[in-house]
Amino acid sequence: MFDFKGKTALVTGASRGIGRAIAVALARGGASVALNYAGNEAAAQEALALVQAAGAPRTKLCKFDVADAAACQLAVDEIVAELGGLHVLVNNAGIALDQLLMRLKPEDWQRQLDVNLTGAFNLTKAVTRPMMKAKGGAIVNLSSVVGEMGNAGQSAYAATKAGLIGFTKSVARELASRQIRCNAVTPGFIDTDMTSALPEAAKTKMTEGIPLARLGTAEDVASAVCFLASEQASYVTGAVLKVNGGMYM
């Protein structure tokens, strides 16, 4: 278990799936946790209960759209005031509106950019001052194996996730002198609500392309995120950690 006692973390897209697993893992390490969600109140309440049960000393639910810069800044200000600073940011919120390029609507392209990439920019910018005040911090961006290798029908999603990798490396260089680290995780095929709805034949085909011969779990990703956010990774910045079972090396 990683030690986050005395730290406050904000996890975006924390109401379910990978985001929820990350929030719970941080809570197990003793972090106070702010959970961002976009609209699913019931799922957010479930996630909050799990985070509290995992041992988070303080918690806060934050409903806002990460694509809204003003809302991001307001949320960060409230978290700092209510939970005592902000030391870890996990940019996990993301959407995938899959479509072949020729049929992709401009508004769907833009929405994915706004949430997946601009959302990370908005929050990273907002947390910079409180992290500087704390004389350090850790930012972890959730990219994707699709951002590294591409995928038919996901040109917009892949573009945003590839953009996050470049963003991560640039932020790491900018903020290193202030002891603020920035890293990325690129999950492969993870067993979430989205993949559980796939037919068994599709899951089997996906698994055949993975050397470790299984889908990943949300907890696999959460462990990687917690490592990068922890003091055990104090000399790691600008890294891209693959969590994909070997499907892309």
At 77, the pLDDT band (50, 70, 90 cuts) reads very high
> Which residues fall within 8 angstroms of residue 186, CB to CB, at 6 or more apart?
143, 144, 145, 147, 148, 161, 165, 240, 241, 242, 243, 244
Give the catalytic positions in this structure: 157
**Which CATH class, in words, describes the domain spanning 8-243?**
alpha beta
Q: Is the pLDDT of residue 1 over 90?
A: no
Q: Is the pLDDT of residue 62 over 80?
A: yes
* Residue 239: CB atoms within 10 Å: 15
Q: Are 124 and 89 in contact (CB under 8 A)?
A: yes
What confidence score (pLDDT) does residue 200 get? 86
At 227, the pLDDT band (50, 70, 90 cuts) reads very high
Domain residue extents for the chain: 8-243
Q: Is the pLDDT of residue 34 over 80?
A: yes
Kindly report the CA angle at 186 between 197 and 93, in degrees rounded to 5?
Answer: 65
pLDDT tens digits along 182-199:
999 999 999 987 677 778
**DSSP per-residue string spanning the chain:** ----TT-EEEESS-SSHHHHHHHHHHHHTT-EEEEEESS-HHHHHHHHHHHHHTT-SSEEEEE--TT-HHHHHHHHHHHHHHHT---EEEE---------GGG--HHHHHHHIIIIIIHHHHHHHHHHHHHHHTT-EEEEEE--HHHHH--TT-HHHHHHHHHHHHHHHHHHHHHGGGTEEEEEEEE-SB-SHHHHTS-HHHHHHHHHT-TT-S-B-HHHHHHHHHHHHSGGGTT--S-EEEESTTS--
